[in-house]
Structure formats: C-alpha cells, structure tokens
Structure 1
Amino acid sequence: MALSVEDLKLMQGLAQRITATHPRLVNSDASYGELAWNWGRTGGEGEHRLWFSGGELVAWGRAELPRRVRRNDGSVKDITAAYLAYQVAPGHAELVDEVIGWYATTAPGVERSVLPAADDAHALGRWAAHGYEPDAPDAWSQLNERELTEVEEPSLPAGFSFRTAAEVTPEAVVQAQVDAWAPTSYTASSYLGVRRAPGYRADLHVLVEAPDGTMACSAIMWLDEVNATVEFEPVGTHPGHRRQGLARAMVLHGLRLAAAAGARHATVACMGESVPARELYYSAGFRAFSRDAPLVKRR
C-alpha cells in the first residue's frame, strides 16, 4: 500500500522533533524535505510500517524493493536489491531491532542496504549484530549546513535570469529536472506528486533561465517552519551549462529567498565522494555537518 499523505506528515513531524533535539541523528532520506521529495516523485510507492507510543509516532521504516524502472531515454534499469529508509526517536532506541526485523521479513532473500547516521552508535551496533557490514566506500552522503546571516548577493552572466516554478510552465520545470539528471524516470506525473507534497512551495522552487529560454539549473527548497531551517533537494544543472557559476548563484539566490521566508539556517546533502558538488556548496558558505554510514547485508 502506498504511503498516505497523512502518514507522511507524521513522519515529517518526527523529523522535525529529532532535528530540534538531535540533528546529527537525522538519517539520510529521513529529513523533513527529503521525505517530501521522495514521496512526491515516487507516489509513496514501497512497503512501510509505523510505530507509535502513546498516540505519537516514534519510529517508521520504508522499504524500496527490487523492481524495474523505465527511464526517459527508453532504457530500463533492473534494481535487484532492497533499500531501507527509516527513523527511530532517540527515546525509543529499542525499536531499532524491530525495524531491522521488519525489514528482513519485508525483503527476504535479496541484498539489503540501509543508511543509518554515522553518529548513531546504538543503531550501528544493532545493525552490525544482525549481520550488516559497511557498504562500498563511495556510497555515503554528507550533510552540509550554514546560517543565513550575511548571504552574498548572487551574480549571473549576462542574459541569464532567476525564475521560480510559480513563474514558468510546469513543462519547463520538469524539463529542467530531466536535463540535469538524464537518464531519469522523472516525469510530469512525478512533478504533480511533488507539488502535492506537504511543504512544497513554488516560490521556493528556484531556476536559472538561459538566454535561449532553457532552464539551465533548478533547485527545490523545503522550509521547515518549526525549526526555521530550509533544505535544498534536489539541485541540478543542465550538462551544457555547467562550470559557469550558475548553480552557485542559484543557491545564493535561494538562500536569500529562504531568509526572507523566515529561515535562519540551511542544509544541503551531497554524495561524500562528489568533490564538485561538495566544493559548490562550500563556495556558497556551507560546511560539513554530519554524514551517514552505509551498511549492507549480502544475499
């Protein structure tokens, strides 16, 4: 059964509570914005389970199972392993074993991967006790952060201009995502789902338009009003417009928009081994904050 928007809001609420008290324990794919982005673009597909205590959500797991994905270039990608996104409230650490057990019964007989937070010593110990080992050294991601004081004014090359999703057509917004991440399974239907996701704001979905009308790069910002923090996810640039400073200018422009909307803090994730992405965010004032610890259990 697909994840409902009501359950998604509960999961986002848990993310907000953990962000407020234990921000280094917010797993990959378990942040306020990442939850919304993944739900929107996939339609909430996959298996999931929620755990409650006293009527309050305290843990959840969402498993992506083996499947075939069709991409915009006509190719297909067969995903043969399972992946788990999950979150457990720090006061209910005993539920980590229940999440691990549920994952094993939900995805039996296949390779299973998971991305707990590197600072979550208890969870790392429990996953190891169940036979999970470190995954490939390039599989980890890094979360970067910065405060929104004194954000540099961005500058674009002549002929380029800033836009928001509220100002351009949905077709242009979708094409910007497709161009940046081709080959991809992202479609107009995916974007409709993203627009329905709790927290999506078209005025915080920023783009850079090239002189020929192409959307050269784009980024969605997810504003967590409870914690006054904004998260960039995703950020992408058209291959024909890279290395021109456009993404840096867009990120700075987005930071200024987010500050005007009430944010005081910002985050953005990147693959840990991706030097260009990391240097982009460092050049916009971000610094490393936390990382995940990819684990896998082979067949």
Structure 2
Amino acid sequence: MRTTDLAARLACVGRTWTPQQRLHVGNVAWAHTHGDGSPAPDVTVAWGDPLLGFADVWLPASTVEPATASLHLAPQTTTPHQLAGAVDELLRVASRVTVEVPLQQAELVDALTARGFRESGGPWFAQLWRSLADLSDLDAHPTPDGYSIRPARPDELAERVEVHRRCWDPARIKRMLDLPVTGDEAGSSYSVDKHLAVMATPVYRGELDLVAEAADGSLAAFGLGWFDPESGSVLFEPVGTGPHHARRGLGRALCAEIMRAARDLGATQAVVGPRGDGGYPVPRRLYEGLRMREVAQVVSFATA
C-alpha cells in the first residue's frame, strides 16, 4: 500500500500519540509542506487500513551510501508480526537504510534489531515534555524590552517568510554547528508558497503562528506551534531568532507565549524534539529553561 494522504497520516499519528512517540501531528504537517527543506521522497510505503504506519524513503545517489527513511509504526496498535512485515518491506525498498527510532518504542526496536539493524551513533534527538497545568513559572521569561510578541498578520506574509529565511539561513546554521562555511551555500528554501501550504494544513492555527516585532517594526523572531486537540498537546516546530536579535531571551519568550495560547485552546501538554547530543546544545538548553524534561531519546538505527 502506498499513500501520501495527509489526512490519513495525521489520523494515524494522532490516534496513539504519547510524548515518547517520534512524530506529532505537527511534524507530519510540517514535513508534508517540505518546510524543513527536505525534498520529496523517492519511495513511500504505508501499511494498514485504517493506516497503521508509513515510511518515506530517500534513495542515495550512489550505492556507497545507505538510503534514509522516515518511519512511523503506531505503537500499541501494531502487532509484532505487523512490525516485522513492515520492516521486511522497508528492506525490500532499500537493503541498506538508516531510520530514526525512539528507544522507548521497544517493540519496534526489537523488530529492527531482529532484522540486523544496529544503533549507528552520531547525532540523536531528545523528546522534551512539560505539563501546561501551571504556567506561573513562565513569568520569569517576559518579552524583552523593545519587542512585542503577537500572531503573524495575513498582510505580512512576505515578512513572516523572510524572518524564517534569516533565522534558518544554511550558512548561519553551519556556523552554529561549527561546520565549515564555503560561501557557496544557497539561501533558505523557505518561501511564500511553502508558508501558504503550511497555513492550508488542517492542524495549522493562526493563534500559534507567532512573531516577535522589534521597535522599528521589523520581525526579529518567530515560533510556530502545532496543536493536536485529540491529545491536548502542542509541538514547537520551528522556532528561530534572527542573528541580530539573538541572546536576548526572544526564543523562550515566544515559546512561553505559544504555551499560553495553546492552553487557551485546550492544550494540556507541550513537546519539542531538539538535538539531544552535545553537537548543537543551544535549543535543548532553551527548552529545558522552560522546565521541559526529557521523556524519550530518538536515535539512528542502520543496517550493516
């Protein structure tokens, strides 16, 4: 079975969501719009009716490198036999493949290791979580002087896109990761069309698409929250502060406002998935400063 149907994927991921799950409905919507800059997958596979799981596979340019897959198999609802069958089908698509899996999803980890997958090392991601029952601690993260935080307006679509592009400029990200910058890096691929696609997804809420406005009226930072009414959860994805406005507390202030707005919509918990290793520690420190704690580790597994 093959599907790229967004509604089916959202239902599949939302049906069994817990904070330990790698994908939130917001991740699914964000990936669907290719807002993260990822290309369309070469192969898509799905299992079950209604949908129990799916995988997007990006094949390598040469046989030297493994394929990369984004794999979701709904916990609690897939049997060991179904998990094994799904992994077998994935291996028929690409015999050498890397996938990211939460260690807390033990049955999926067992199905992968039984087929020869092993932890491959390298960067990993933490699932950080907090309750929204009491947000009084957020008073310690006010909006910095000279800025205001508000929802993005429909008449500033180009400016909303441009602040994203500045925050996630590839050369800037390389510098933050201590990677060499050649000067030939392309600019961010985020565009007005992509943001319109984001806004068209069924889980987008304008109340959670926030920007920080500087004193001169320019946009200095942004944060996008994704609310899932079924689980009462909100995901931060993505959040960014412009290079001339960094280290002033805008990121935490934006996330604090997203949590308050999400609580008003009915959210009871917040989740985010930053890097967990020491290669890029700043985002994790930001969220831990908002009393978010690690509840899962998402690591790479690969075939030999």
Q: Which residue of 1 aligns with 2:230?
A: 226
Q: Which residue of 1 aligns with 2:220?
A: 216
Which moved further from structure 2: 254-263 or 179-188? 179-188
> Structure 1 counterpart of 2:260, which letter?
R
User: 1 CA distance for matches of 2:219 and 2:47?
Assistant: 42
Q: 1:297 to 1:213 in 2, by over 3 A?
A: farther
Show CA shifts across 1:248-296 (max 9, x none): 1111111111111111111111010232211111111211111112112
Q: 1:9 aligns with which of 7, 10, 21?
A: 7
- Quote how far apart the aligned CAs of 1:225 are: 0.4
- Quote how far apart the aligned CAs of 1:3 are: 5.5
User: 2 CA distance for matches of 1:179 and 1:23?
Assistant: 30
Q: Is the 8 A contact 1:165 1:206 kept in 2?
A: yes
- Quote how far apart the aligned CAs of 1:140 are: 0.9
TM-score (norm 2): 0.82
Q: 1:192 aligns with which of 178, 193, 196?
A: 196
Q: 1:263 aligns with which of 259, 262, 267?
A: 267
User: 2 CA distance for matches of 1:239 and 1:23?
Assistant: 31
- Quote how far apart the aligned CAs of 1:168 are: 5.2
> Which residues in structure 2 correspond to 1:8-47 (within 5 Å)?
8-19=6-17, 23-24=19-20, 26-27=21-22, 30-41=23-34, 45-46=40-41, 47=43
Q: 1:168 to 1:160 in 2, by over 3 A?
A: farther
Q: Following TM superposition, where does structure 1 have runs of at least 4 consecutive aligned residues deviating by more than 4 angstroms?
A: none
- Quote how far apart the aligned CAs of 1:167 are: 5.3
- Quote how far apart the aligned CAs of 1:229 are: 1.0
Q: Which residue of 2 aligns with 1:96?
A: 83
> Which residues in structure 2 correspond to 1:66-215 (within 5 Å)?
66=60, 81-89=66-74, 90-93=76-79, 94-107=81-94, 111-137=96-122, 139-151=123-135, 152-153=138-139, 154-166=141-153, 169-183=156-170, 184-215=188-219
Q: 1:261 to 1:242 in 2, by over 3 A?
A: same
Q: Which residue of 2 aligns with 1:71?
A: none
- Quote how far apart the aligned CAs of 1:98 are: 2.5
Q: Structure 2: where are the runs of 5+ without partners?
A: 171-187
Task: State the Cα RMSD in Å.
Answer: 2.5
Q: Structure 1: where are the runs of 5+ without partners?
A: 68-79
SS in 1 for 2:33: helix
- Quote how far apart the aligned CAs of 1:205 are: 0.7
- Quote how far apart the aligned CAs of 1:44 are: 8.5
> Structure 2 counterpart of 1:172, which letter?
E
Determine whether 1:50 maps to 2:64. no
User: 2 CA distance for matches of 1:81 and 1:191?
Assistant: 31
> Which residues in structure 2 correspond to 1:223-262 (within 5 Å)?
223-262=227-266
Aligned length: 275
- Quote how far apart the aligned CAs of 1:63 are: 1.6
- Quote how far apart the aligned CAs of 1:231 are: 0.8
Q: Is the 8 A contact 1:41 1:193 kept in 2?
A: no
Determine whether 1:294 maps to 2:300. yes
- Quote how far apart the aligned CAs of 1:214 are: 3.0
User: 2 CA distance for matches of 1:36 and 1:268?
Assistant: 15
Identity of aligned residues (%): 25
- Quote how far apart the aligned CAs of 1:223 are: 0.6
Q: Is the 8 A contact 1:3 1:44 kept in 2?
A: no
